[in-house]
Amino acid sequence: MRAWFPSHRRGGAKPLPRPLRATPPALFPAIRRLFHAALILGFAAVLAASMPATSGLIFRSLEIYPPMDSSRLSMLASEPATAIVILAAGRRNYAPEFAPPGHQTVDALTLERLRYGAYLARRTHIPVLVSGGLGPPSLAELMAATLQTDYGITPKWREGESRNTAENAIFSSAILRRSGVRHVILVTHAWHMKRAVAAFAANGLDITPAPTAFYRPDAGGLWSAITPGLGTLRMSGYAAHEIAGLVWYKLKYGY
């Protein structure tokens, strides 16, 4: 901060940053206080997001859909014109231990979704669509390879053009409508499901949410509930991304 203000040391004053050259000197103390307050607030926000108690409250507002009931699965298996849709999350760009495509593979978040999607497919024998682009290879290709290699399941459809959740819904719904599918069992993380359901419903599909990987931070007592952790902070980052996405989708798409 010292470099922002005139110095009285030998050698004269250091030059001000360009944005401050037109600022009246009388405002410098206020700017300094504002900067310090922003630092303190930023640190406090990061600290709060690192605490299980705070993180748990945020995730409870996102994870509004309960786990799929096993009795519901048997009913879904007999419904016509239904598909299981598994949404991508991300990829590992450098995975030399895996064979092509591209010596890449899905990331841990996508793998969690694929695992549950494979579980549902085995229980119901409903065909699977995998959705995710940003290639080559597209995330859909990587997902299909993982399903085939690790779970022995071959997706019926691959949607490899989407760049976000909204496009997952737009492009997947177009593929499924051409096949006469109107009802989907939607597989994604529990904290992502709220935005995903809104996107797919807006594209004319009937949705049965099938959330996976529910997040409940370990809060076994007051001390553990307020003890910061890097893992908790990482999860709070996902929650912040989801909240920002919900706001943005409301403004851009109206849902």
Residue range 94-105, pLDDT digits in tens: 888 877 666 889
Q: Which pair of structure tokens corresponds to residue 52?
A: 């299980």
CA 181 – CA 207 distance, rounded (Å): 11
Q: How many Cα atoms occupy the beta-carbon half-sphere of 144 within 13 Å?
A: 21
Beta bridge partners of 92: 105
Residue labelled with tokens 């590992």: 92
- What is the C-alpha to C-alpha distance for residues 177 and 174, in angstroms, rounded to an integer? 5
Tell me how far apart the terminal alpha carbons of the chain are, to the nearest angstrom. Answer: 44
| Cβ-contact 128, 155 below 8 angstroms | yes
In Å, what is the CA distance from 231 to each residue of 50, 95, 220, 226, 227? Answer: 8, 23, 16, 13, 11
pLDDT at residue 8, as a whole number: 47
**99: DSSP letter:** P
196/166 Cα distance (integer angstroms): 8
Strands 157-159 and 91-92: unpaired
pLDDT confidence of residue 73 = 84
Span 28-36, average pLDDT: 74
How far apart are alpha carbons 128 and 82 in whole angstroms? 9
> Ranked by mean pLDDT, which of 7-21, 66-80, 211-225 comes out on top?
66-80
**Domain 68-252 carries which CATH code?**
3.40.50.620
* Cβ atoms of residues 208 and 200 within 8 Å: no
Q: pLDDT-derived band of residue 132, with 50, 70 and 90 as boundaries?
A: very high
183-233 tens-digit pLDDT: 999 999 999 999 999 999 999 999 999 999 998 876 676 666 677 778 787
Contacts of 95 (CB under 8 A, 6+ apart): 103, 104, 105
Residue 108 has pLDDT above 80, yes or no: yes
- d(C-alpha 172, C-alpha 167), whole Å: 8
Confidence at residue 19, expressed as pLDDT on a 0 to 100 scale:
58
Q: Could you tell me whether strands 157-159 and 206-212 are parallel, antiparallel, or unpaired per DSSP bridges?
A: unpaired
User: What does the domain layout of the chain look like in residue ranges?
Assistant: 68-252
What's the CA gap between 139 and 106, in Å, rounded?
Answer: 7
pLDDT, mean over the chain: 85
Contact 184, 207 (CB under 8 A): yes
Which of 232, 212, 208, 246 has the alpha carbon at shortest distance from 61?
Answer: 246
Closest CA to 155 of 169, 145, 166, 170: 145
pTM of the model: 0.80
Q: Is the peptide bond before 66 cis (omega within 30 degrees of 0)?
A: no
